Protein backbone atom coordinates (compact mmCIF):
# COMPACT_ATOMS: atom_id res chain seq x y z
CA UNK A 1 0.00 0.00 0.00
CA UNK A 2 1.39 3.42 -0.90
CA UNK A 3 2.05 5.99 1.79
CA UNK A 4 -0.93 8.01 0.56
CA UNK A 5 -3.28 5.02 0.76
CA UNK A 6 -1.86 4.11 4.15
CA UNK A 7 -2.72 7.59 5.37
CA UNK A 8 -6.15 7.55 3.73
CA UNK A 9 -7.08 4.28 5.41
CA UNK A 10 -5.53 5.14 8.77
CA UNK A 11 -8.37 4.56 11.16
CA UNK A 12 -9.74 7.25 13.47
CA UNK A 13 -10.18 4.68 16.24
CA UNK A 14 -7.46 2.03 15.97
CA UNK A 15 -7.87 -1.19 17.97
CA UNK A 16 -6.60 -1.55 21.54
CA UNK A 17 -4.36 -4.43 22.53
CA UNK A 18 -5.87 -6.96 24.95
CA UNK A 19 -3.80 -5.42 27.77
CA UNK A 20 -4.88 -1.86 26.90
CA UNK A 21 -8.49 -3.01 26.73
CA UNK A 22 -8.34 -4.64 30.17
CA UNK A 23 -6.72 -1.54 31.64
CA UNK A 24 -9.32 0.76 30.05
CA UNK A 25 -12.18 -1.50 31.14
CA UNK A 26 -11.00 -1.26 34.74
CA UNK A 27 -11.89 2.46 34.69
CA UNK A 28 -15.59 1.61 34.34
CA UNK A 29 -17.70 2.04 37.49
CA UNK A 30 -20.18 -0.58 36.21
CA UNK A 31 -23.13 1.69 36.91
CA UNK A 32 -26.76 0.68 36.87
CA UNK A 33 -28.57 -2.52 37.67
CA UNK A 34 -31.70 -4.46 36.72
CA UNK A 35 -34.02 -1.57 37.59
CA UNK A 36 -31.89 1.34 36.44
CA UNK A 37 -29.76 0.72 33.37
CA UNK A 38 -26.45 2.56 33.17
CA UNK A 39 -26.64 5.96 31.44
CA UNK A 40 -24.30 4.75 28.68
CA UNK A 41 -26.67 1.85 27.91
CA UNK A 42 -29.67 4.19 27.85
CA UNK A 43 -27.79 6.40 25.36
CA UNK A 44 -27.16 3.47 23.01
CA UNK A 45 -30.02 3.13 20.48
CA UNK A 46 -29.56 -0.68 20.48
CA UNK A 47 -29.32 -0.80 24.31
CA UNK A 48 -26.09 -2.81 24.46
CA UNK A 49 -25.46 -3.78 28.09
CA UNK A 50 -22.27 -1.75 28.26
CA UNK A 51 -21.25 -2.29 31.91
CA UNK A 52 -21.69 -6.06 31.48
CA UNK A 53 -19.53 -6.35 28.37
CA UNK A 54 -16.92 -3.95 29.77
CA UNK A 55 -16.82 -6.02 32.96
CA UNK A 56 -16.26 -9.18 30.87
CA UNK A 57 -13.29 -7.48 29.18
CA UNK A 58 -11.92 -6.43 32.57
CA UNK A 59 -12.06 -10.10 33.65
CA UNK A 60 -10.26 -11.09 30.44
CA UNK A 61 -13.33 -12.85 29.01
CA UNK A 62 -13.42 -11.24 25.54
CA UNK A 63 -15.60 -14.01 24.11
CA UNK A 64 -18.30 -13.30 26.68
CA UNK A 65 -18.00 -9.59 25.93
CA UNK A 66 -18.44 -10.32 22.22
CA UNK A 67 -21.55 -12.36 22.75
CA UNK A 68 -23.08 -9.59 24.87
CA UNK A 69 -22.54 -6.90 22.24
CA UNK A 70 -23.75 -9.07 19.35
CA UNK A 71 -26.85 -10.13 21.26
CA UNK A 72 -28.09 -6.53 21.04
CA UNK A 73 -26.54 -5.42 17.79
CA UNK A 74 -25.62 -7.73 14.87
CA UNK A 75 -23.39 -4.96 13.48
CA UNK A 76 -21.62 -4.29 16.80
CA UNK A 77 -18.15 -4.29 15.23
CA UNK A 78 -19.21 -1.82 12.54
CA UNK A 79 -20.95 0.44 15.06
CA UNK A 80 -17.83 0.42 17.24
CA UNK A 81 -16.05 2.10 14.33
CA UNK A 82 -18.68 4.48 12.98
CA UNK A 83 -20.94 5.48 15.90
CA UNK A 84 -20.96 9.14 16.97
CA UNK A 85 -20.07 8.04 20.50
CA UNK A 86 -19.41 11.54 21.93
CA UNK A 87 -23.14 12.23 21.51
CA UNK A 88 -24.21 8.72 22.50
CA UNK A 89 -22.74 6.23 25.02
CA UNK A 90 -19.46 8.02 25.74
CA UNK A 91 -21.22 11.37 26.01
CA UNK A 92 -23.47 9.84 28.69
CA UNK A 93 -20.67 8.20 30.70
CA UNK A 94 -20.77 9.38 34.32
CA UNK A 95 -17.01 9.97 34.33
CA UNK A 96 -17.68 13.11 32.27
CA UNK A 97 -19.32 14.57 35.40
CA UNK A 98 -16.26 14.16 37.59
CA UNK A 99 -13.82 15.79 35.22
CA UNK A 100 -12.46 12.56 33.75
CA UNK A 101 -12.52 11.39 30.18
CA UNK A 102 -15.29 8.86 29.51
CA UNK A 103 -14.59 5.16 29.25
CA UNK A 104 -13.50 4.43 25.64
CA UNK A 105 -16.63 2.34 25.05
CA UNK A 106 -16.38 2.21 21.25
CA UNK A 107 -12.83 0.95 21.28
CA UNK A 108 -13.68 -1.66 23.91
CA UNK A 109 -16.70 -2.72 21.86
CA UNK A 110 -14.42 -3.17 18.89
CA UNK A 111 -12.24 -5.52 20.93
CA UNK A 112 -15.29 -7.43 22.11
CA UNK A 113 -16.69 -7.79 18.59
CA UNK A 114 -13.33 -8.76 17.19
CA UNK A 115 -12.94 -11.54 19.74
CA UNK A 116 -15.85 -13.49 18.29
CA UNK A 117 -16.44 -12.24 14.77
CA UNK A 118 -13.02 -13.29 13.55
CA UNK A 119 -13.87 -16.85 14.44
CA UNK A 120 -17.38 -16.45 13.03
CA UNK A 121 -18.56 -17.73 16.42
CA UNK A 122 -21.83 -15.82 16.45
CA UNK A 123 -24.61 -18.21 15.65
CA UNK A 124 -28.04 -16.84 14.98
CA UNK A 125 -30.42 -19.40 16.42
CA UNK A 126 -32.78 -19.95 13.54
CA UNK A 127 -36.07 -21.65 14.35
CA UNK A 128 -36.59 -23.03 10.90
CA UNK A 129 -39.98 -24.33 9.88
CA UNK A 130 -41.91 -21.11 9.40
CA UNK A 131 -43.43 -21.14 5.95
CA UNK A 132 -43.97 -17.38 5.83
CA UNK A 133 -41.65 -15.28 3.72
CA UNK A 134 -40.34 -11.79 4.25
CA UNK A 135 -38.70 -9.76 1.49
CA UNK A 136 -36.24 -7.07 2.47
CA UNK A 137 -35.28 -4.37 -0.02
CA UNK A 138 -31.81 -3.08 0.76
CA UNK A 139 -28.84 -4.84 2.37
CA UNK A 140 -27.86 -1.82 4.46
CA UNK A 141 -27.72 -1.74 8.27
CA UNK A 142 -31.51 -1.67 8.80
CA UNK A 143 -32.18 -4.45 6.27
CA UNK A 144 -29.41 -6.71 7.58
CA UNK A 145 -30.57 -6.25 11.17
CA UNK A 146 -34.21 -6.84 10.28
CA UNK A 147 -33.13 -10.07 8.52
CA UNK A 148 -31.02 -11.20 11.50
CA UNK A 149 -33.99 -10.78 13.84
CA UNK A 150 -36.59 -12.34 11.56
CA UNK A 151 -34.54 -15.41 10.67
CA UNK A 152 -34.34 -16.11 14.40
CA UNK A 153 -38.15 -16.16 14.46
CA UNK A 154 -37.96 -18.79 11.73
CA UNK A 155 -39.15 -16.73 8.76
CA UNK A 156 -37.78 -17.30 5.29
CA UNK A 157 -35.97 -14.08 4.55
CA UNK A 158 -34.68 -12.85 1.21
CA UNK A 159 -32.71 -9.60 0.88
CA UNK A 160 -32.63 -7.80 -2.48
CA UNK A 161 -29.97 -5.21 -3.20
CA UNK A 162 -28.99 -3.39 -6.38
CA UNK A 163 -25.31 -3.45 -5.39
CA UNK A 164 -22.95 -6.39 -5.87
CA UNK A 165 -22.10 -6.55 -2.16
CA UNK A 166 -24.03 -6.11 1.10
CA UNK A 167 -23.58 -3.25 3.58
CA UNK A 168 -25.36 -0.32 1.95
CA UNK A 169 -24.02 3.01 3.10
CA UNK A 170 -21.46 1.34 5.38
CA UNK A 171 -19.79 -0.31 2.41
CA UNK A 172 -20.28 2.43 -0.15
CA UNK A 173 -20.72 5.79 1.59
CA UNK A 174 -18.79 5.82 4.85
CA UNK A 175 -15.32 7.29 4.50
CA UNK A 176 -12.51 4.71 4.69
CA UNK A 177 -10.82 6.37 7.67
CA UNK A 178 -13.89 5.25 9.64
CA UNK A 179 -14.39 1.85 8.05
CA UNK A 180 -13.31 0.33 4.78
CA UNK A 181 -15.04 -3.07 4.55
CA UNK A 182 -14.08 -5.23 7.56
CA UNK A 183 -15.73 -6.35 9.76
CA UNK A 184 -18.85 -6.38 7.56
CA UNK A 185 -18.18 -9.81 5.98
CA UNK A 186 -17.77 -11.40 9.44
CA UNK A 187 -21.00 -9.76 10.58
CA UNK A 188 -22.98 -10.90 7.54
CA UNK A 189 -21.72 -14.45 7.49
CA UNK A 190 -23.94 -15.59 10.42
CA UNK A 191 -27.00 -14.39 8.46
CA UNK A 192 -26.03 -16.55 5.50
CA UNK A 193 -25.42 -19.53 7.78
CA UNK A 194 -28.83 -19.01 9.38
CA UNK A 195 -30.50 -19.24 5.97
CA UNK A 196 -30.98 -15.63 4.86
CA UNK A 197 -30.97 -15.52 1.06
CA UNK A 198 -29.27 -12.65 -0.76
CA UNK A 199 -30.12 -11.42 -4.26
CA UNK A 200 -27.40 -8.97 -5.24
CA UNK A 201 -27.32 -6.87 -8.42
CA UNK A 202 -31.10 -6.96 -8.21
CA UNK A 203 -32.97 -3.69 -8.38
CA UNK A 204 -36.63 -4.10 -7.50
CA UNK A 205 -38.17 -1.34 -9.59
CA UNK A 206 -41.55 -0.68 -11.15
CA UNK A 207 -45.16 -1.56 -10.34
CA UNK A 208 -44.92 -5.04 -11.85
CA UNK A 209 -41.82 -5.95 -9.84
CA UNK A 210 -43.46 -4.95 -6.57
CA UNK A 211 -46.72 -6.72 -7.53
CA UNK A 212 -44.73 -9.91 -8.09
CA UNK A 213 -42.92 -9.47 -4.81
CA UNK A 214 -46.21 -8.94 -2.97
CA UNK A 215 -47.39 -12.35 -4.30
CA UNK A 216 -44.22 -14.07 -3.10
CA UNK A 217 -43.75 -12.39 0.28
CA UNK A 218 -46.06 -12.13 3.28
CA UNK A 219 -44.40 -8.91 4.44
CA UNK A 220 -41.92 -6.51 2.88
CA UNK A 221 -39.37 -4.28 4.61
CA UNK A 222 -38.18 -1.20 2.76
CA UNK A 223 -34.63 -0.44 3.87
CA UNK A 224 -34.00 1.39 0.65
CA UNK A 225 -31.96 4.29 1.97
CA UNK A 226 -31.65 7.37 -0.21
CA UNK A 227 -31.00 7.82 -3.91
CA UNK A 228 -28.36 9.76 -5.79
CA UNK A 229 -26.50 12.83 -4.54
CA UNK A 230 -28.47 16.04 -4.94
CA UNK A 231 -27.02 18.10 -7.74
CA UNK A 232 -26.40 21.80 -7.37
CA UNK A 233 -27.60 23.58 -10.46
CA UNK A 234 -24.59 25.86 -10.56
CA UNK A 235 -22.78 26.84 -13.78
CA UNK A 236 -19.61 24.84 -14.32
CA UNK A 237 -20.58 21.83 -12.22
CA UNK A 238 -19.54 19.49 -15.06
CA UNK A 239 -15.91 20.73 -15.07
CA UNK A 240 -13.15 18.21 -14.42
CA UNK A 241 -12.29 18.40 -10.75
CA UNK A 242 -15.89 18.83 -9.59
CA UNK A 243 -17.14 15.76 -7.75
CA UNK A 244 -20.27 14.51 -6.07
CA UNK A 245 -19.59 13.12 -2.58
CA UNK A 246 -20.80 9.55 -3.10
CA UNK A 247 -18.72 8.76 -6.22
CA UNK A 248 -15.77 10.42 -4.47
CA UNK A 249 -16.12 8.11 -1.44
CA UNK A 250 -16.72 5.09 -3.67
CA UNK A 251 -13.47 5.83 -5.49
CA UNK A 252 -11.65 6.13 -2.16
CA UNK A 253 -13.05 2.85 -0.91
CA UNK A 254 -12.14 1.07 -4.13
CA UNK A 255 -8.49 1.75 -3.30
CA UNK A 256 -8.12 3.93 -6.41
CA UNK A 257 -8.39 7.41 -4.87
CA UNK A 258 -9.30 10.33 -7.10
CA UNK A 259 -6.51 12.65 -8.20
CA UNK A 260 -6.85 15.70 -6.03
CA UNK A 261 -5.32 19.17 -6.23
CA UNK A 262 -3.62 21.42 -3.69
CA UNK A 263 -6.81 23.36 -2.97
CA UNK A 264 -10.12 21.65 -2.28
CA UNK A 265 -13.51 23.22 -1.63
CA UNK A 266 -16.23 21.09 -0.08
CA UNK A 267 -19.83 22.25 -0.26
CA UNK A 268 -22.21 21.13 2.48
CA UNK A 269 -22.72 21.11 6.23
CA UNK A 270 -23.37 17.47 7.10
CA UNK A 271 -21.16 14.67 8.33
CA UNK A 272 -20.51 13.49 4.77
CA UNK A 273 -19.14 16.95 3.91
CA UNK A 274 -16.76 16.72 6.85
CA UNK A 275 -15.76 13.17 5.93
CA UNK A 276 -14.78 14.11 2.38
CA UNK A 277 -13.00 17.24 3.64
CA UNK A 278 -10.96 15.19 6.11
CA UNK A 279 -10.21 12.58 3.46
CA UNK A 280 -9.05 15.38 1.13
CA UNK A 281 -6.52 16.37 3.81
CA UNK A 282 -5.35 12.75 3.97
CA UNK A 283 -5.02 12.66 0.19
CA UNK A 284 -2.56 15.55 0.39
CA UNK A 285 -4.68 18.61 -0.38
CA UNK A 286 -2.94 21.50 1.38
CA UNK A 287 -5.87 23.90 1.59
CA UNK A 288 -9.27 22.41 2.35
CA UNK A 289 -12.23 24.74 2.83
CA UNK A 290 -15.83 23.82 3.66
CA UNK A 291 -18.54 26.25 2.64
CA UNK A 292 -22.04 26.02 4.10
CA UNK A 293 -25.02 28.23 3.39
CA UNK A 294 -26.16 28.60 7.01
CA UNK A 295 -24.22 29.34 10.20
CA UNK A 296 -22.14 26.93 12.27
CA UNK A 297 -24.94 26.47 14.79
CA UNK A 298 -27.24 25.22 11.98
CA UNK A 299 -24.82 22.62 10.59
CA UNK A 300 -26.28 19.11 10.60
CA UNK A 301 -22.77 17.74 11.30
CA UNK A 302 -21.95 16.93 14.90
CA UNK A 303 -20.26 19.86 16.60
CA UNK A 304 -17.38 17.69 17.82
CA UNK A 305 -16.73 16.63 14.21
CA UNK A 306 -16.50 20.28 13.17
CA UNK A 307 -13.96 20.88 15.97
CA UNK A 308 -11.94 17.82 14.91
CA UNK A 309 -11.94 19.04 11.30
CA UNK A 310 -10.77 22.50 12.42
CA UNK A 311 -7.99 20.84 14.42
CA UNK A 312 -6.85 19.15 11.20
CA UNK A 313 -6.52 22.57 9.54
CA UNK A 314 -9.78 22.60 7.57
CA UNK A 315 -11.22 26.10 7.16
CA UNK A 316 -14.91 26.96 7.16
CA UNK A 317 -16.86 29.65 5.37
CA UNK A 318 -20.29 29.71 6.94
CA UNK A 319 -23.17 31.63 5.34
CA UNK A 320 -21.79 31.11 1.84
CA UNK A 321 -23.03 29.24 -1.25
CA UNK A 322 -21.37 28.43 -4.58
CA UNK A 323 -22.70 30.42 -7.54
CA UNK A 324 -20.21 29.20 -10.16
CA UNK A 325 -17.47 26.66 -10.77
CA UNK A 326 -14.89 28.52 -12.85
CA UNK A 327 -12.34 27.16 -15.32
CA UNK A 328 -11.84 26.09 -18.95
CA UNK A 329 -12.01 22.31 -18.88
CA UNK A 330 -10.62 21.89 -15.36
CA UNK A 331 -11.77 23.70 -12.24
CA UNK A 332 -9.72 26.77 -11.24
CA UNK A 333 -11.92 28.44 -8.64
CA UNK A 334 -15.29 28.35 -6.92
CA UNK A 335 -17.24 31.59 -6.96
CA UNK A 336 -19.32 32.03 -3.83
CA UNK A 337 -21.90 34.42 -2.48
CA UNK A 338 -22.46 35.32 1.15
CA UNK A 339 -25.88 34.53 2.57
CA UNK A 340 -27.87 35.96 5.43
CA UNK A 341 -30.48 34.13 7.47
CA UNK A 342 -33.87 35.74 7.02
CA UNK A 343 -36.95 34.73 9.08
CA UNK A 344 -40.15 33.61 7.37
CA UNK A 345 -43.68 34.31 8.69
CA UNK A 346 -43.43 31.60 11.38
CA UNK A 347 -39.94 32.55 12.47
CA UNK A 348 -37.92 29.86 10.64
CA UNK A 349 -34.69 31.20 9.18
CA UNK A 350 -33.72 30.66 5.55
CA UNK A 351 -30.53 31.69 3.75
CA UNK A 352 -30.92 34.56 1.29
CA UNK A 353 -28.07 35.81 -0.95
CA UNK A 354 -26.51 39.11 0.08
CA UNK A 355 -26.53 41.22 -3.11
CA UNK A 356 -23.06 41.81 -4.52
CA UNK A 357 -21.28 39.87 -1.73
CA UNK A 358 -19.30 37.64 -4.08
CA UNK A 359 -15.89 36.09 -3.39
CA UNK A 360 -13.68 33.50 -5.06
CA UNK A 361 -11.86 30.53 -3.60
CA UNK A 362 -9.06 29.11 -5.77
CA UNK A 363 -9.71 25.37 -6.12
CA UNK A 364 -8.46 22.41 -8.16
CA UNK A 365 -11.04 20.12 -6.63
CA UNK A 366 -14.60 20.75 -5.45
CA UNK A 367 -16.78 18.13 -3.79
CA UNK A 368 -20.52 18.63 -3.45
CA UNK A 369 -21.93 16.98 -0.34
CA UNK A 370 -25.36 18.57 -0.11
CA UNK A 371 -27.40 15.46 0.60
CA UNK A 372 -29.16 12.75 -1.36
CA UNK A 373 -32.57 12.66 -2.98
CA UNK A 374 -35.43 10.64 -1.46
CA UNK A 375 -36.60 7.51 -3.29
CA UNK A 376 -39.97 9.10 -4.13
CA UNK A 377 -40.36 6.87 -7.21
CA UNK A 378 -41.68 4.28 -4.73
CA UNK A 379 -44.91 6.31 -4.57
CA UNK A 380 -45.62 5.32 -8.18
CA UNK A 381 -44.81 1.66 -7.63
CA UNK A 382 -46.39 0.75 -4.29
CA UNK A 383 -49.97 1.48 -3.35
CA UNK A 384 -50.24 3.66 -0.22
CA UNK A 385 -46.58 4.61 -0.02
CA UNK A 386 -45.91 8.32 0.09
CA UNK A 387 -43.21 10.77 1.09
CA UNK A 388 -43.49 14.02 3.03
CA UNK A 389 -40.57 16.46 3.04
CA UNK A 390 -38.31 13.71 1.72
CA UNK A 391 -39.29 11.16 4.35
CA UNK A 392 -41.29 8.02 3.85
CA UNK A 393 -44.54 8.42 5.77
CA UNK A 394 -45.05 5.90 8.59
CA UNK A 395 -47.71 5.15 11.19
CA UNK A 396 -46.98 7.01 14.43
CA UNK A 397 -44.55 5.17 16.75
CA UNK A 398 -44.28 2.24 14.40
CA UNK A 399 -42.33 1.03 11.40
CA UNK A 400 -45.57 0.32 9.51
CA UNK A 401 -46.37 2.24 6.37
CA UNK A 402 -49.93 3.06 5.29
CA UNK A 403 -49.77 -0.11 3.16
CA UNK A 404 -50.24 -2.91 5.75
CA UNK A 405 -47.86 -5.29 4.00
CA UNK A 406 -44.97 -2.82 3.98
CA UNK A 407 -42.67 -1.75 6.80
CA UNK A 408 -39.75 0.64 6.58
CA UNK A 409 -36.72 1.99 8.40
CA UNK A 410 -33.29 3.56 8.03
CA UNK A 411 -32.39 6.61 5.96
CA UNK A 412 -35.60 6.50 3.92
CA UNK A 413 -37.64 7.45 7.00
CA UNK A 414 -35.23 10.12 8.26
CA UNK A 415 -31.51 10.86 8.29
CA UNK A 416 -30.07 8.49 10.87
CA UNK A 417 -26.74 7.10 12.00
CA UNK A 418 -25.79 3.46 11.37
CA UNK A 419 -26.67 2.44 14.91
CA UNK A 420 -30.08 4.11 14.63
CA UNK A 421 -30.64 2.26 11.35
CA UNK A 422 -29.80 -0.97 13.20
CA UNK A 423 -32.41 -0.08 15.79
CA UNK A 424 -34.96 0.64 13.03
CA UNK A 425 -34.27 -2.85 11.70
CA UNK A 426 -34.86 -4.40 15.13
CA UNK A 427 -38.13 -2.50 15.60
CA UNK A 428 -39.33 -3.40 12.13
CA UNK A 429 -38.63 -7.08 12.76
CA UNK A 430 -40.77 -6.93 15.93
CA UNK A 431 -43.59 -5.17 14.06
CA UNK A 432 -43.41 -7.66 11.18
CA UNK A 433 -43.43 -10.60 13.59
CA UNK A 434 -46.50 -9.21 15.37
CA UNK A 435 -48.22 -8.60 12.02
CA UNK A 436 -47.51 -12.12 10.74
CA UNK A 437 -48.48 -13.66 14.06
CA UNK A 438 -51.82 -11.87 13.78
CA UNK A 439 -51.23 -9.84 16.93
CA UNK A 440 -51.88 -6.49 15.24
* Binds ligand SF4 (CB under 6 A): choice among 5, 15, 31, 308: 31
* Binds ligand SF4 (CB under 6 A): choice among 50, 83, 220, 421: 50
Is the peptide bond between 52 and the residue preceding it cis, with omega within 30 degrees of 0?
Answer: no
What separation in angstroms does the CA of 12 have from each of 176, 251, 286, 305?
A: 10, 19, 20, 12
Question: Least Å distance between CB 102 and ligand SF4?
Answer: 6
84-121 b/e with 16+ CB inside 10 Å = b?
bbbebbbebbbbeeeeeebbbbbbbbbbbbbbbbeeee
Indicate whether 30 belongs to the interface with ligand SF4 (CB under 6 A).
yes
Contact region with ligand SF4 (CB under 6 A), list: 47-55, 295-303, 345-353, 424-432 = 47-55
Query: Given the complex with ligand SF4, which of 49 and 431 has the nearer CB atom?
Result: 49
Angle 408-418-181 (CA atoms, 0-180°, nearest 5)? Answer: 115
Size of the site for ligand SF4 (CB under 6 A): 15
Contact region with ligand SF4 (CB under 6 A), list: 49-57, 138-146, 212-220, 222-230 = 49-57
Residue 390 to residue 179: CA distance in whole angstroms: 27
* Binds ligand SF4 (CB under 6 A): choice among 103, 277, 288, 436: 103
Question: Least Å distance between CB 65 and ligand SF4?
Answer: 13
Question: Least Å distance between CB 36 and ligand SF4?
Answer: 11
Indicate whether 28 belongs to the interface with ligand SF4 (CB under 6 A).
yes
* Binds ligand SF4 (CB under 6 A): choice among 8, 16, 21, 38: 38
* Binds ligand SF4 (CB under 6 A): choice among 5, 94, 239, 358: 94
What SS3 state is found at 231? Answer: coil
Q: What are phi and psi of 265, to 5 degrees?
A: -115, 130
Q: What are phi and psi of 329, to 5 degrees?
A: -100, -35
* Residues between 325 and 384 with contacts to ligand SF4, criterion CB under 6 A: none
Strands 331-343 and 387-388: unpaired
CA proximity to 431, closest of 401, 386, 387: 401
225-252 b/e with 16+ CB inside 10 Å = b?
bbeebbebebebbebebbbbbbebbeeb
Indicate whether 40 belongs to the interface with ligand SF4 (CB under 6 A).
yes
Contact region with ligand SF4 (CB under 6 A), list: 27-35, 195-203, 301-309, 391-399 = 27-35
Indicate whether 87 belongs to the interface with ligand SF4 (CB under 6 A).
no
Which positions touch ligand SF4 (CB under 6 A)? 28-31, 38-40, 50-51, 54, 93-95, 103, 105
Amino acid sequence: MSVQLDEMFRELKPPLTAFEAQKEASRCLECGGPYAPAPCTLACPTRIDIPRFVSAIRRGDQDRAGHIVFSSNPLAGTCARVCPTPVMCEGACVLNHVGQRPVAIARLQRNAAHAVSNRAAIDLVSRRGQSRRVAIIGAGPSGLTCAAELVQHGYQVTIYDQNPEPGGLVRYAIAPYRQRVAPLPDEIEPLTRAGVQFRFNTRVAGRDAFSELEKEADAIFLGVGLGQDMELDVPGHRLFGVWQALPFIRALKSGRPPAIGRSTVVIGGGNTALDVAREAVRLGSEQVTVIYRRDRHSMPAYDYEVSEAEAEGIRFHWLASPVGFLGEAWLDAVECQYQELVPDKVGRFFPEPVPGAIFRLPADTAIMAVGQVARTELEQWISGIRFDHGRLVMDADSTRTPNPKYFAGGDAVGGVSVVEAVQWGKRAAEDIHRYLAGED
